A and B are shown apart, each in its own frame.
Chain A
Amino acid sequence: MKTKTVELVASPREPHFVGDGFRVHNFIPSGYRMDMQRMSPFLLLDYNSTYNFPASEKPRGVGVHPHKGFETVTIAYKGKVAHHDNSGGGGVIGEGDVQWMTAAKGILHKEYHEEEWSKKGGDFQMVQLWINLPAKDKKKEPKYQAIKNENINRYELPDNAGQIEVIAGKYKGTKGSASTFTPVNLFNAKLKKGGKADFQFPADYNTALLVLEGNIMVNGKEETPTDHLALMANDGENFEIEALDDALVLVLSGEPINEPIAAQGPFVMNTREELMQAFNDFNMGKFGYLED
């Protein structure tokens, strides 16, 4: 077994607003060589680093928009997000919760700060990740996995080093709470100062570490500060992280989907024709209708 080394440590890019409720740094796919092919099956990683939203009677957020051909995973670290879709589905993603939405053949939804949270305002920290689906699953029915924090399976690290929340995949025998279409590992590593955790993924799995709290050391030599992302190379299987302070790290690692990607806006298909069809379907109302 070889060590998986750090390919680069990316600093957060200049933030931009998605709607008026999400102030995000984009790590995937813009810049740093982390395009959709390189990072497959991960298509997009938007990180809302801790940001204080003042109280607002009218909840901030993103209005009605479609998705098709992939999954969105929303992890609320601080703050709460409410969502509604065109089939009457909806809910609240509370602090620590994960929403795994399979858009597949198409969904129309909107996402806002939860009403009561919005009235008080406060610190907001969130990750939204887009995960591709293979061609055979792009036409499946949409579905949600609403995973409450208390239901996320956990692995307690030895020596009181902390714990690993296994959202998807598997960590040392503890299985993830979410089901996936292709092999995807998604963990929250909560480490106490000085705590260590080691990880093992196949060399070809595309892997990254997003540091949400604290500072960490990867493989004993690469320091990755808060709000930075370490992209791991595809040169080995094993790596170790050590918390230099109490730390929270989102670990993502997935088997690449070796299919062509045709992506534009909220649609991710395999060919240009399928992409144009998706726009046409949306324009013609085939995704349904939802009031803003």
Chain B
Amino acid sequence: MNSPKLKLFLTSNLDIDDDEILSILKSCQVKSVKKDAFLLRENEHCKHTFFVESGLIRQYSIDDKGKEHTISFAPENWFVSDRESVYFDEASAYYIQALEDSEVVMIDEDFFLKLSEEIPSFTDFNNKLLHNHIRHLQKRINMLLSASAEQRYLEFVAMYPDILLRVPQTMIASYLGITPESLSRVRKELARKNFKK
């Protein structure tokens, strides 16, 4: 069990000491996934939340025409999961795939139960995380409906400062809901405004 980043995340947000956290983390498996390997495929039932210790994971769907739509990127210190599938035990509509060689902690429902039982403050903390997530998703829906390509791009790089250098432009366009040509225009225009020789 080697998940230093998850341990740090929990101890810095919860009133819990190292021994307690280690005994809870013991039940979680750490999995090494090679670039391109899948953690979840469409129609499977997702059983875990994945915490990314290292590497980069992507969640996406594929439409009837075979086009990919990126729901989220999860670099180091991020969680990724299909919550509908885990919580409601539904078949997933998504793929979760490694974009780089990665290490993820496989967190199951027992882990959350144990944390709730042993640490009273966990339920509040988890509530906060869920609301953060809802806020993020709502903002994303609103931007996809109303924001310009440039606004979407600026929001994206503020949240994911190093992803632009780690994934193909087509994937970023598929996250922003714009064409790769439109993304290229946005970046060209920013360079025109901001590049000083």
Known contacts A87-B197, A265-B166; A285 and B161 CB within 8 A of each other: no
Tell me whether A287 is interfacial, beta carbon within 8 Å: yes
Verify B165–A282 contact, CB threshold 8 A.
yes
Number of chain A interface residues as a range? 10 to 19
Beyond A289-B188, A289-B195, 11 extra complex contacts between A and B, CB < 8 Å: A279-B162, A280-B157, A280-B161, A283-B164, A284-B190, A284-B194, A285-B188, A285-B191, A285-B192, A289-B187, A289-B191
* A53 CA to B191 CA, complexed, in Å: 35
Instruction: Tell me which residues across on chain B come within 8 A of A260, comparing CB atoms.
Output: none
Q: Which of chain B's residues 71-122 have a Cβ closer than 8 Å to chain A?
A: none
Instruction: Tell me which residues across on chain B come within 8 A of A66, comparing CB atoms.
Output: 165
Tell me whether A56 is interfacial, beta carbon within 8 Å: no
Q: Which of chain B's residues 145-197 have a Cβ closer than 8 Å to chain A?
A: 157, 161-162, 164-166, 169, 187-197
Tell me whether A110 is interfacial, beta carbon within 8 Å: no
Instruction: Tell me which residues across on chain B come within 8 A of A58, comparing CB atoms.
Output: none
* A276 CA to B157 CA, complexed, in Å: 12
Verify B195–A287 contact, CB threshold 8 A.
yes
Tell me whether A286 is interfacial, beta carbon within 8 Å: yes
Residue among A65, A66, A265, A279 with the most chain B CB within 10 A? A279
Q: Tell me, rounded to whole Å, the shortest Cβ–Cβ distance linking B93 to chain A.
A: 30
Q: Tell me, rounded to whole Å, the shortest Cβ–Cβ distance linking A143 to chain B.
A: 14
Instruction: Give 24 pairs: A residue, B residue, CB < 8 Å, sorted on A.
Output: A66-B165, A265-B165, A266-B165, A279-B162, A280-B157, A280-B161, A283-B157, A283-B161, A284-B190, A284-B194, A285-B187, A285-B188, A285-B189, A285-B192, A285-B195, A286-B191, A287-B191, A287-B195, A288-B191, A288-B195, A289-B191, A289-B192, A289-B195, A292-B169
Q: Tell me, rounded to whole Å, the shortest Cβ–Cβ distance linking B152 to chain A.
A: 13
- 0/1 string, A263-292, CB within 8 A of B gives 1: 011100000000010011011111111001
Instruction: Tell me which residues across on chain A come within 8 A of B194, comparing CB atoms.
Output: 284-286
Instruction: Tell me which residues across on chain A come within 8 A of B197, comparing CB atoms.
Output: 87
Instruction: Tell me which residues across on chain B come within 8 A of A265, comparing CB atoms.
Output: 162, 165-166
* A158 CA to B133 CA, complexed, in Å: 71
* A286 CA to B164 CA, complexed, in Å: 14
* A287 CA to B191 CA, complexed, in Å: 7
Q: Tell me, rounded to whole Å, the shortest Cβ–Cβ distance linking A231 to chain B.
A: 24
Q: Tell me, rounded to whole Å, the shortest Cβ–Cβ distance linking B39 to chain A.
A: 21
Verify B190–A282 contact, CB threshold 8 A.
no
Q: Which residue of A lies closest to B186 (CB)?
A: A285
Q: Tell me, rounded to whole Å, the shortest Cβ–Cβ distance linking B33 to chain A.
A: 15
Verify B161–A276 contact, CB threshold 8 A.
yes
Verify B162–A264 contact, CB threshold 8 A.
yes
Q: Which residue of A lies closest to B196 (CB)?
A: A286
* A266 CA to B195 CA, complexed, in Å: 19
Residue among A66, A266, A283, A288 with the most chain B CB within 10 A? A283
Instruction: Tell me which residues across on chain A come within 8 A of B192, comparing CB atoms.
Output: 285, 289
* A195 CA to B166 CA, complexed, in Å: 45
Instruction: Tell me which residues across on chain A come within 8 A of B164, comparing CB atoms.
Output: 282-283
Verify B193–A65 contact, CB threshold 8 A.
no
Instruction: Tell me which residues across on chain A come within 8 A of B169, comparing CB atoms.
Output: 292
Verify B161–A279 contact, CB threshold 8 A.
yes
Instruction: Tell me which residues across on chain B come within 8 A of A87, comparing CB atoms.
Output: 197
Q: Tell me, rounded to whole Å, the shortest Cβ–Cβ distance linking A265 to chain B.
A: 5
Q: What are the 3 closest A-B residue pairs judged by CB atoms, nearest first? A: A285-B191, A285-B190, A289-B191
Q: Which of chain A's residues 74-114 have a Cβ closer than 8 Å to chain B?
A: 87
Instruction: Tell me which residues across on chain A come within 8 A of B191, comparing CB atoms.
Output: 285-289
* A153 CA to B174 CA, complexed, in Å: 51
Instruction: Tell me which residues across on chain A come within 8 A of B166, comparing CB atoms.
Output: 265
Q: Which of chain A's residues 234-285 have a Cβ closer than 8 Å to chain B?
A: 264-266, 276, 279-280, 282-285
Instruction: Tell me which residues across on chain A come within 8 A of B165, comparing CB atoms.
Output: 65-66, 265-266, 279, 282
Instruction: Tell me which residues across on chain A come within 8 A of B190, comparing CB atoms.
Output: 284-285
* A284 CA to B195 CA, complexed, in Å: 9
Instruction: Tell me which residues across on chain B come within 8 A of A283, comparing CB atoms.
Output: 157, 161, 164
Instruction: Tell me which residues across on chain A come within 8 A of B193, comparing CB atoms.
Output: 285
Instruction: Tell me which residues across on chain B come within 8 A of A65, comparing CB atoms.
Output: 165
Q: Which residue of A lies closest to B197 (CB)?
A: A87
Instruction: Tell me which residues across on chain B come within 8 A of A276, comparing CB atoms.
Output: 161
Q: Which residue of A lies closest to B157 (CB)?
A: A283
Q: Which residue of A lies closest to B190 (CB)?
A: A285
Q: Which of chain A's residues 202-254 have a Cβ closer than 8 Å to chain B?
A: none
* A283 CA to B164 CA, complexed, in Å: 7
